[in-house]
Every structure is written in structure tokens, then in C-alpha cells.
């Protein structure tokens, strides 16, 4: 099973901006969220922890890994969507026309960035390589995790626009006997009630 974990809060996403490849650290709340994730996973038989290379994901992964005496493996395929020129831009500064184009076409690419189709391709590759019967925690970002859900459900990337994925949430993908993926759970946040 793959347990996809979205990293904790940063000042950038708390401020309503597209974070993308900007390498911001966890905020104070984000650190508390990472610790809550670590406590929740402490009771589970985690065998591997894989992370995006970005510090907010690595630090979230490190909190979980410490409870299991495991090293954090880095996999570039878990990195956030590249927003290109939109990295750090307030959501409200993306024009309605640009939002409409992005939502209508999964191959739409922000200026100098990456498309949802590209994210799906790398997450499909990651899932095919890593999905196992053992519990593997994969700490990533909103777009790759939504892409993993699209892969598991065999739906178009436009479905991502109809998903809300919380910070420090857990989404689980299982493996069928033929090694195909299926969705077990989405946006688990029961470990966070005192932090809401």
C-alpha cells in the first residue's frame, strides 16, 4: 500500500499563493502537523518512507521516519507541479481566463511550468515502481497526490479540479493482485482535529 502524505503548512500556502517548486520550510503549524502525522503512523507497520526533494516534504517525512527508525528516501517524481512563472503568485492574481484554460485542458502549462499530464506521467511511474503489499509512506504535494488518485481511478486529470486535499492529509492507494492500483481512502485528517 502507498500512503500518500501531503506535507504540512508553510507560510506561502498559508498566504494563499501557488507554492510549486519554491522551497519554503514548514511553518510552526506545519511542524505540529508533521508531528501529528508521525504520531498517527507510529501505530502502523511502515516499511519505507519516500519523499519529494523539497524541504517541506522532507521535514514532514523525517518526523514520520523518526518513529520507525527509517531513513527518508528522496524521489524526484514526488516533487510538486512546476508552476513556472506562477511560483509564489497569489491565487487571486491568476486571471479567470487562465484558470478556465487550465481547468479545460490537462496539457495546459503555466508559463515556463509543467502540465497536469506531465505530473500524472511521473506519478504513474512512481506508483508502478513503489506500490507494494507493505506500507510505504510517500510524502508529496497536492498536485502529485491528486494525480495518484486520478491514476487509481483511471480518470482524466480534469477530475483534480473537483478534489480538495488538506495539508498534512493522508490518501491511500492499494495494489490488486495484478499490481494495478485502486483508491483505499482520500484526504484522511482525523489525526489533526486539535490543530484545525
Residues annotated as catalytic are 7, 80
The DSSP 8-state label assigned to residue 24 in this structure reads P
- Answer whether 61's CB lies under 8 Å from 48's CB: no
Using CA atoms, how far apart are residues 80 and 177, in angstroms rounded to an integer? 30
- Whether 49 and 3 have beta carbons less than 8 Å apart is answered as no
Q: How far apart are CA 150 and CA 77, in angstroms?
A: 16
Return the residue matching grid coordinates 517525512.
61
Asked if 83 and 54 touch (Cβ cutoff 8 Å), the reply is no
Rg of the chain (C-alpha set)? 16
Closest-CA residue to 152 (of 172, 168, 167, 122): 172
Amino acid at each position: 500500500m502507498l500512503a500518500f502524505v501531503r506535507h504540512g503548512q508553510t507560510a506561502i500556502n498559508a498566504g494563499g499563493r501557488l507554492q510549486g517548486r519554491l522551497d519554503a520550510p514548514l511553518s510552526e503549524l506545519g511542524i505540529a502537523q508533521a508531528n501529528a502525522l508521525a504520531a498517527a503512523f507510529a501505530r502502523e507497520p511502515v516499511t519505507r518512507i519516500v519523499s519529494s526533494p523539497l524541504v517541506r516534504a522532507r521535514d514532514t517525512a523525517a518526523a514520520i521516519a523518526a518513529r520507525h527508525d527509517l531513513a527518508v528516501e528522496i524521489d524526484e517524481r514526488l516533487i510538486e507541479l512546476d508552476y513556472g512563472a506562477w511560483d509564489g503568485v497569489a491565487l487571486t492574481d491568476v486571471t479567470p481566463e487562465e484558470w478556465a484554460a487550465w481547468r479545460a485542458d490537462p496539457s495546459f502549462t503555466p508559463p515556463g511550468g509543467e502540465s497536469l499530464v506531465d505530473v500524472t506521467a511521473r506519478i504513474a511511474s512512481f506508483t508502478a515502481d513503489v506500490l507494494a503489499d507493505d506500507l510505504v509512506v510517500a510524502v508529496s504535494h497536492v498536485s502529485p497526490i491528486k494525480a495518484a488518485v486520478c491514476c487509481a481511478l483511471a480518470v482524466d486529470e480534469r477530475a483534480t479540479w473537483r478534489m480538495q486535499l488538506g495539508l498534512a492529509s493522508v490518501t491511500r492507494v492499494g495494489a490488486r493482485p495484478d499490481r494495478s492500483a485502486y483508491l483505499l481512502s482520500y484526504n484522511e485528517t482525523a489525526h489533526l482535529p486539535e490543530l484545525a
